[in-house]
Structure 1
Amino acid sequence: MDQQLRVFVTVAEMENFSRAAEKLHMTQPAVSQYIQTFERTMGTKLLERSNKYVRLNKAGEIVYHHAKEILGIYTKMNYLIDDLTNKTSGSISIGASYSYGEYVLPHVIKKMHEQYPLIIPTVTIGNTKEIAKLVRKHQLDVGIIEGEIEDNHLLIEPFAEDAMYVVASPKHRLSKRNGDMNLAELAEETWIVRENGSGTREITEKMFGSYGLVPKKTLEFGSTQLIKESVEAGLGISLLSWWAIRKECTIGTMKIIDVKQLPMKREFSVALRSPFKTKALNVFLELVKEDKVDHEL
């Protein structure tokens, strides 16, 4: 059954029997036979076929959703069994929110590759809600998320604290101010914020609400890197993680604005779907917790 699921999922994702056969290292007739047998087993058609494409129908969408979860669980089971007798190796699928994933995770991956070259990581970057959802669906082995999140289906463990600062271009008028200022003074500025679902957006909104700050103008961007480039260009100001801005602040292309109520603090957490961990996952989690010291302010 697991091979039928793999063939079905691959055909659904490739939307083409020939491309699926190539990816699976099978012949096209063999792929077609697997799909026909699987559809008979399920008692209904799962794919709409034409000369140009193969697409999921309503029943196919339901089966695809659960097939991804089943294959994820099956893969984890095999890794756990292999771990009983073999040395640390295998694949590990990692998800991370933008602030951690873009600015800290590469250092962790580098250390893991140097110490455990047989571990093969794949990385997905997204906002906190997206990463939590993928972990919940067994499509990621582990997620690194930011801010506060409640999910009864996930095991969430904080492992590091992050400091959030208001930053601007060195040429911005606020960068030339001496001494602390109140957040309320920044209401007339253009604020560049992340999209809804982002942990950075969550703490920005929390800051606005806590101190009664109502920005006159906001711009919403879906990438921390894009926000940083925009701040450096003088488009506006933003609340960003120290981990994300430390390099720019060191070389002087971005400046932290002295605000009495800051920095804001938040936690970074590990999110898991199951308490059972492969050796590869345990190695990664240990490195994550060790590496936090190198990135503290």
Structure 2
Amino acid sequence: MALNFHQLHIFYTVSERGSFSAAAQALHMTQPAVTMQVQSLEDYFGTKLLQRSTKRIELTEAGRALLPYARRSIDLIRDTDRAMSAFTKQLKGKLQLGASLTIAEYILPRLLGPFGAEYPHVSISLKVINTTQIVEEICNHQLNFGLIEAPVNHPDMHMEPVMSDELTLIVPCGHPLSEKETVTMDEVLKYPFILREQGSGTRQVMEQQLLERGFESTALNIVMELGSTGAVKSAVEAGLGVSFLSASSIKHEAALGLIKKVKVADVTFTRQFYSIYLKSALLPISAVTFLTFLREKDLQQWL
């Protein structure tokens, strides 16, 4: 019997998940099939790799020695897929991903056209939900990977920055701040705010940046919380308050003079957009190819 990557991947997933049943769910396999593959790996090495118990498995000394090699084998396969994705010109299949609202509505439409022109036989299925929901659906294996607007701290997730963005202050036309080129945050805090809902990446970044500069989120006079960027823009345009939104999301309204961008002197809301997926997952080649596209192309030419 030869050692194979499939068994190493299963062993690693069982180790990370802590049980055969959780690993089976993550790998879309039956629990007996997972158990059989681990037993085959143990037969190959001639030693026990896992100690079974009713609550949680534990690694033996041999299992602890094997684990970093299993991890490296997964990384090597991912690197191989990434290197070869540049040559996959006849790629076919479905690209399925989740993206938070700002990315899905204002960034991805400008990128999926060039990607589709390069890979015309790939169909795209995009789920538009907020950052928190994307993490939940990846954990529950309803999504392979996602693009999110704020970093998350999750032990099972691999996260990588793929593009940058900046939040900008927007105010209604005729607002007292609209005639100023630059304002301070203390000036901005005097006015009512319209924000995205809790769990939104845009809101997380804004609150974190303010906190780092000594401004508590409780200092904001939040008069409205809305579930989409479009709704926030409409509320600002109607004169109901001010907000911070992605510069990419307000180009049209600013160009038409419906809202006004104002620079805040003492706070810079730069951020990264991230790809996110399970550490134990091996992504489909369509997903690997799309992430390579995001990493290696000059995205600003389309944004």
Question: Common fold, TM-score beyond 0.5?
Answer: yes
Query: Which residue does 1:123 correspond to in 2?
Result: 126
- Residue 163 of structure 2 aligns with an amino acid whose one-letter code is A
Query: Where does structure 1 differ by over 4 angstroms across 4 or more consecutive aligned residues?
Result: 66-69
The more displaced of 92-101 and 135-144 is 135-144
Report the TM-score when normalising by structure 2: 0.65
What is the alpha-carbon distance in structure 1 between the residues aligned to residue 249 and residue 115 of structure 2? 21
Instruction: Tell me the equivalent position of 2:229.
Output: 224
Q: Partners in 1 of 2:298 and 2:113 — Cα distance? A: 11
Which residue among 176, 196, 199 is the counterpart of 1:197? 199
Secondary structure in structure 2 of the residue aligned to 1:287: helix
> Are 1:288 and 2:279 matched, yes or no?
no
- Partner Cα distance (2:289, 2:26) in 1: 25
Letter in 2 for 1:199: G
C-alpha separation in 2, matches of 1:156 and 1:242: 23
Partner amino acid, structure 1, of 2:238: A
> Cα deviation per residue 1:43-99 (whole Å; 9 max; x = unaligned)?
xxxxxxxxxxxxxxxxxxxx9xx879728xxxxxxxx9xx9x994111121111111
Report the secondary structure of 1:262's partner residue.
Answer: coil
The secondary structure found in structure 2 opposite 1:247 is: helix
Q: How does 1:93-104 map to 2 (within 5 A)?
A: 93-104=96-107
1:106-150 C-alpha deviation (Å, 9 max, x unpaired): 122222322222212111111111112212222112200112211
Question: Are the equivalent residues in 1 in contact too, given 2:163–2:294 (CA < 8 A)?
Answer: no
TM-score normalised to structure 1 length: 0.66
Secondary structure at the aligned position of 2:28 is classed as helix
Which residues of structure 2 form unaligned runs of 5+?
Answer: 1-20, 30-80
What is the deviation of 1:253? 2.0
Q: Which residue of 1 aligns with 2:28?
A: 70
Question: Are residues 295 and 266 of structure 1, via their aligned partners in 2, closer, same or farther at CA, if it must alter by over 3 Å?
Answer: farther
Q: Say if 1:211 and 1:250 are closer, same or farther in 2 by CA, change over 3 A.
A: farther
Residues 210 and 267 of structure 2 are in contact (CA less than 8 Å); yes or no, is this contact kept in structure 1? no
Q: Which amino acid aligns with 1:180?
A: T
**8 Å contact 2:192–2:221 — kept in the other structure?**
yes
Letter in 2 for 1:205: E
Q: Distance in 2 between the 1:262 and 1:253 partners?
A: 24
Say if 2:175 is the partner of 1:186.
no
- Measured in 2, the distance between the counterparts of 1:113 and 1:181 equals 42
Q: Is the 8 A contact 1:162 1:268 kept in 2?
A: yes
Tell me which residue corresponds to 2:67: none
* Aligned-pair Cα RMSD in Å: 2.7
Q: Does 1:164 align with 2:167?
A: yes
Partner residue in 2 for 1:149: 152
Deviates more, 1:158-167 or 1:243-252: 243-252
State the aligned residue count: 220
